[in-house]
Chains A and B, each alone.
Chain A
């Protein structure tokens, strides 16, 4: 099966600023693909080129076999789009927006009222857009992106500015989109979001893609370190920990030991050591690296900076 989205050698400049440079990747059918990176890395520009809202200076893009530049209207009928920081008319009612959007597409696969219900907006259907909360607005934008039962859904920073509870609710909605067999392409600067939601991610910085893979594979590849924190009063603990194979360092502060090493079997080896020596343990924690650490490793700085 050919990829749903194919991007190859795309470059886009604004004046002298190179927003996106030599970006290439593919998105497969039925996956949630995330483009992750800090603000200003080129995520939105890349996404808007794919949606047909911007024209790249160089490179080729194909979405569902269509050229987003030449066949933008055919494309827009088959995709759903949620834009970063978009607004609607202040005094448009929720149902009016859905009604307008629904009238723009030829196929009427999605029932607007059912969509509102599944997004928890039924009791807001007569509310003005300006009176919705941030989470409700985002849910409305998701509803608008889904109204034409699209084959590919684009979500640009969809949980930015939301509280953790609203964020989790929206993640669940996105997983449900995938469950219905849709392909989801999203951007985020939240590593937790990427890790919990995406099947594959592309890390982008300064307009270039640094690496693409499943989140856990990226972590394994770039951050194989494992850290275990153990609290114990065993007098010979330090010595025993040091003798475990693959352990690279053991640091101690009072009765708290921090063990660092590489490989998945490190944790097993440490547990084995504890049980073999009948050591009394007050606390046992493993600290696994995450995408945040991968990003730090690859770019030399944190994504929040």
Chain B
């Protein structure tokens, strides 16, 4: 096995991120408590640097590296940029919250950076092993992050639940991979695809393997019926960690899905299509209906995530380039909205007070009409109201479904969107129509206020001119 210098150039962003994560870990140990901000600044610098490396290495066509363990293509580069950007924003949102609770420790940032590394590896994986490596790096960092507040029984319980179910999911995925490997004798995704294309004898065995891979993916995405961990983990984890779990990893999960099902098993799409339909429809149904019954906003957003996952998977099932692009656009848009949504929860929280009840949003318009407006944009966007970005995401997926002849699925999807609109409207109702019960002023830092405003306005302005983002998603898939 020989490695050329060019191999390292392609993997530069990941190498930089890994090195810096280790450096931050070491530096943080020697920092006095008063200089903890340096860890934060270094972590943010790392993310910016990684993003710059990604931009510098932006591929024009797919490049394989490290004995084709690793692939760098436009889809991957775009997803990686968004992952870095979203983690960057998440760190800004989290700082004040963590400081108020004495949780502003190096662990949060180091684990966050390692999770980011895991995501980048997943995005660029070109063999089953690389995918698994990235996935485990992400998952293990996340388990630890959920338990960050170790004195909280709720957090520990959530971490335990997340760990057990996550391990189960990884097991499923590995089992599926091992079956596919058994049939094809290949680890490399392109090679697997070639063998599957030529092989007509072992179809049953291959489909058997695909079932387990889809189950594993379903767990990671949190699609029904593999969603049980999502609400508990979202609620139990400290809000900054919930923010991290709910946003960037979805991009990585999307990439994993693309790598496994599309790059590796494109020729079995007739078989996985049906499974995806079941997962999607169930996710939209359970997600939207159960969200209505929630009184905790983190739980409500967890079910909302489940329903969005259902919607974005619809783009995959068309098995067309434009369909994948629509799903990718949906995933990116979803992460931006989720980022903002949890950002507002963090904004309303302060020392000794978690703004995680729906009622904590009462009268926000009277308290601070600007951030009520930002939350209004976010909620309406999640509900799919034009001209916000969330509408275009739904539009893109629906358009692809109808073009491919899945009319009934499109109708089902819009029906559930209408049901979903109800619980987003309820937040707006609480903010605008009810009197405030809590009259404490908002205490967030200025950088957070600016970041959150940018986040919300981006949803509005990108919704007015969605051409750019739509085109980028379309071209990055070739």
Real binding pair: no
